[in-house]
Amino acid sequence: RDDGRVVTWGDNSSNQYADAPTDAGFVEIACGERHSVALHRDGRVVTWGGEMDGQRRDSPTDAGYVSVACGRNHSIALNADGRVVTWGDTSHSQRTHMPTDAGYVAVVGYDDRSLALSEDGRVVMWGNGGLWHRKMRREVPTDVGYVAIACGINTNVFLHGDGRVVIWPAGSMNQHPRPRSLWTPIPRSPEIERDGSRLRASTTTRPVHP
């Protein structure tokens, strides 16, 4: 809601909405398979719902966080100095292989893997140890200059500062060979702005039909 209150509904078998926070002032939310995470404007992280893999008991208790994300049974948070914190399930190294340096500006998660974007536009991936995901890690782009990241079940999508959209792994499960309709940036460099500890890319888009 516009006052920062969280509203939940649906399945409540793991207290997905019975334990939701009731105070105001939240600015970002994310959800996994049976748990949810909310970021308060004072930098606190609140987790509720499923607890099978420590999604709640291992949640950080300090403040100073600027972004949150979730995988299936793990969570990721980014603090003000750009360090990544993870908690919850680590059966696929979701916690043990996370980056330990500072300077990250965005985090995303899906299933058993996570990705982080650094200030210089470098992408880091860790997590799922399956064959397909090992291929993903081997093929992580090594160049810099990316300004946004996203991930789905078997693919990852990056936006470069020059307006290019990169889908990786290349040709994964036919996600990108000749899509029917693709929104692509007009060829011009996006305006990159730092808003506090956040990174924002401003682009103009238009539809392209192959």
pLDDT 10s digits, 83-132: 999 998 777 767 677 899 999 999 999 888 899 999 999 999 888 744 45
Average pLDDT over residues 187-193: 41
What predicted TM-score, i.e. pTM, was given to this entire model?
Answer: 0.75
C-alpha to C-alpha distance for 32 and 72, rounded to whole angstroms: 5
In sign, the C-alpha dihedral spanning 165, 166, 171, 173 is negative
Burial (CB count <10 Å: 0-12, 13-18, 19+), residue 105: buried
pLDDT digits over 38-72, tens only?
Answer: 999 999 999 998 878 767 778 899 999 999 999 88
Classified as helix, coil or strand, 118 is: strand
Contacts of 131 (CB under 8 A, 6+ apart): none
